[in-house]
């Protein structure tokens, strides 16, 4: 049985993410946190845009690859520190993924395109970068908004929801409004967006 470069790359990305020491419980099962996130990203992409290219499928899976290796705490705990951390993470994710893709047998153009997407270049201008951003936002709203709500006050939450919304396309907005939220969180979203 021949294994395609895509299958190899997917397995190796999963193997890296499976080493995450941080655990998240989903439906009473423990998962390495970034492996669960990676699976959610890929599933959401295929649900939202079934004809997604291989490049964007890999970019979605590898969006947070080995994220735990660069701790937020290793940067100043202010806005500047946060932005620097995010920027360094993007480069780290792109580089880690590029090494896997090279090993899997992909050519230099394919690898460059995946890196471009992971680094979220030309957001709003490049259709696939925008698609990836939509998927990131949809995964956040579906799986990570509820835990966020428990940690932050209403004004901060409204601000986060509005920022998330502004990053999305019209198609992303339509999909976001179809997600099954708790009544409280749906109201919070509507209040944030003035709906």
pLDDT tens readout for residues 8-42: 999 999 999 999 999 999 889 999 999 999 999 99
Q: Which tokens sit at 56?
A: 């964007």
Distance from C-alpha of 17 to C-alpha of 177, rounded to nearest angstrom: 30
The confidence band for 2, taking pLDDT boundaries of 50, 70 and 90, is low
pTM: 0.92
The confidence band for 151, taking pLDDT boundaries of 50, 70 and 90, is confident
Q: Report pLDDT for 1.
A: 64
The backbone torsions φ and ψ at residue 175, rounded to the nearest 5 degrees and listed phi first, read -65, -40
Using the predicted structure, report yes or no on whether residue 152 has a pLDDT greater than 90: no
Beta strands in the chain (DSSP E): 23-26, 29-32
pLDDT tens readout for residues 98-119: 999 999 999 999 999 999 999 9
Using the predicted structure, report yes or no on whether residue 91 has a pLDDT greater than 70: yes
Distance from C-alpha of 151 to C-alpha of 23, rounded to nearest angstrom: 18
């Amino acid at each position: 049985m021949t294994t395609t470069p895509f299958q190899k790359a997917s397995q190796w990305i999963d193997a890296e993410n499976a080493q995450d020491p941080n655990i998240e419980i989903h439906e009473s099962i423990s998962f390495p946190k970034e492996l669960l996130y990676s699976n959610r990203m890929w599933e959401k992409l295929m649900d939202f845009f079934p004809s997604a290219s291989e490049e964007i499928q890999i970019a979605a899976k590898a969006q947070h690859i080995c994220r735990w290796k660069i701790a937020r705490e290793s940067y100043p705990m202010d806005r500047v520190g946060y932005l620097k951390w995010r920027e360094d993470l993007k480069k780290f994710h792109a580089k880690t993924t590029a090494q896997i893709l090279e090993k899997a047998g992909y050519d230099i153009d394919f690898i460059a395109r995946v890196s471009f997407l992971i680094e979220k270049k030309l957001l709003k201008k490049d259709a696939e970068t925008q698609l990836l951003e939509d998927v990131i936002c949809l995964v956040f709203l579906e799986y990570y908004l509820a835990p966020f709500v428990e940690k932050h006050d209403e004004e901060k939450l409204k601000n986060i929801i509005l920022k998330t919304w502004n990053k999305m396309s019209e198609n992303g907005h339509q999909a976001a409004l179809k997600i099954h939220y708790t009544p409280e969180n749906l109201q919070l979203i509507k209040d944030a967006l003035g709906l």
